[in-house]
């Protein structure tokens, strides 16, 4: 009796919907409603606010949910641990990632991973938009930079650095920028945003630079939503560009591009594996996350 209604309550809280919870549990909406009503009666507590448009937790419901979610996650982990003793990781993983990072860094490693684990299948959707993981049925997202969604679980995989750089031919013709204010005199090659990230005073002091980060609005004759096209424009001497390391590293190493304003370079951005809090991290997903954390540079 003490377990009756617990799963139904947790799923409704997760999805904020009786209909979605019923679909995930494989039972009728009416059964979900009956179980939760019986649970509230047994506890003598109102757990959910119900309207025709929305379902939300009461204050008591939030407290009860936190404990119940931990119990169900622990039960899932116990069942999975026993299952793993007799089976190997298998099944499909559905993930999403930024387009260029996914193409250049992520999916080649996913392919290597699948060579080792032949019974795991992967569906990947690359997009620069932040996709709702739960609504889209995604197991995993790779995201870059600061995380704003506290409802998700996350593991840090790697990091990246943004470089400001230009071709030697451009610098010979237009000169070298030595300060952020100098950029107003230069042709800045823009991506999807019209600002670049910097450290404002040109001093990077570990642990003390959070309030010194600066978004500087820049302008120029080019604006592309393609990093590869921006690199090409910079290589051909059209202007100065700010791009992540995986676009420009080989050109900086060869001397085809020159790194600029190094004292103002912003701190490294973290690269995260993000997954829904309400979805137990299965062995196949944990394997992939750990593999990426080991092999991403």
Cα 270 to chain center, whole Å? 10
Q: Are 11 and 72 in contact (CB under 8 A)?
A: no
Query: How high is the pLDDT of residue 54?
Result: 83
3-state secondary structure of 17: coil
Q: Is the pTM of this model over 0.85?
A: no
Residues 141 and 153 sit within 8 Å (Cβ to Cβ): no
**pLDDT given for residue 126 in this prediction:** 92
Q: Provide the token pair at 228.
A: 């590869």
Count of residues in the chain: 297
Q: What b-and-e string marks burial along 267-292, b requiring 16 or more CB atoms within 10 Å of the CB?
A: bebbbbbbbbebbbbbbbbbbbbebb
Q: What token pair was written down for 234? A: 């910079």
Other beta carbons less than 10 A from residue 51's beta carbon: 7
For β-strands 240-244 and 188-189, DSSP reports them as parallel
| C-beta atoms surrounding 143 within 10 Å | 21
Q: Are 212 and 281 in contact (CB under 8 A)?
A: no
pLDDT at 283: 78
Q: Enter the tokens of residue 103.
A: 């193409």
- Give the Cα separation of 163 and 265 in Å (integer): 7
List per-residue pLDDT tens for the chain, 297 residues long: 578 889 999 999 988 899 999 998 999 999 999 999 999 999 999 999 988 778 899 999 999 998 898 888 888 777 766 666 556 778 889 999 988 889 888 999 999 999 999 888 999 999 888 888 877 888 899 998 877 766 678 888 988 899 999 999 999 999 999 999 999 999 999 988 888 989 876 554 444 444 477 889 999 999 998 888 999 999 999 999 999 988 999 999 999 999 999 999 887 888 999 987 655 567 788 889 999 999 987
Model pLDDT, residue 159? 87
């Amino acid at each position: 009796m003490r377990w009756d209604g617990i799963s139904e309550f947790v799923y409704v809280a997760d999805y904020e919907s009786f209909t979605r919870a019923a679909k995930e549990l494989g039972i009728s909406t009416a059964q979900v409603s009956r179980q939760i009503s019986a649970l509230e009666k047994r506890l003598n507590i109102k757990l959910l606010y119900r309207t025709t448009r929305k379902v939300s937790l009461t204050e008591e419901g939030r407290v009860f949910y936190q404990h119940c979610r931990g119990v169900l996650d622990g039960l899932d982990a116990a069942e999975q641990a026993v299952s793993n003793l007799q089976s190997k990781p298998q099944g499909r993983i559905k993930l999403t990632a930024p387009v260029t990072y996914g193409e250049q860094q992520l999916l080649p490693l996913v392919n290597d991973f699948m060579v080792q684990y032949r019974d795991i299948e992967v569906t990947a959707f690359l997009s620069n938009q932040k996709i709702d993981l739960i609504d889209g049925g995604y197991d995993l997202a790779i995201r870059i930079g600061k995380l704003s969604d506290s409802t998700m679980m996350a593991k840090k995989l790697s990091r990246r650095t943004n470089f400001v750089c230009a071709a030697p031919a451009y610098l010979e013709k237009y000169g070298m920028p030595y300060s952020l204010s100098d950029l107003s005199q230069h042709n800045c090659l823009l991506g999807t945003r019209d600002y670049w990230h910097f450290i404002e005073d040109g001093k990077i002091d570990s642990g003390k630079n959070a309030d010194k980060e600066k978004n500087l609005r820049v302008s120029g004759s080019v604006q592309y939503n393609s990093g590869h096209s921006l690199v090409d424009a910079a290589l051909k001497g059209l202007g100065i560009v700010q791009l992540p390391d995986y676009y420009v590293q080989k050109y900086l190493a060869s001397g085809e591009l020159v790194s600029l304003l190094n004292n103002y370079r912003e701190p490294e951005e973290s690269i995260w594996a993000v997954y829904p809090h309400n979805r137990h991290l299965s062995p196949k997903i944990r394997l992939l996350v750990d593999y990426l954390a080991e092999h991403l540079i």
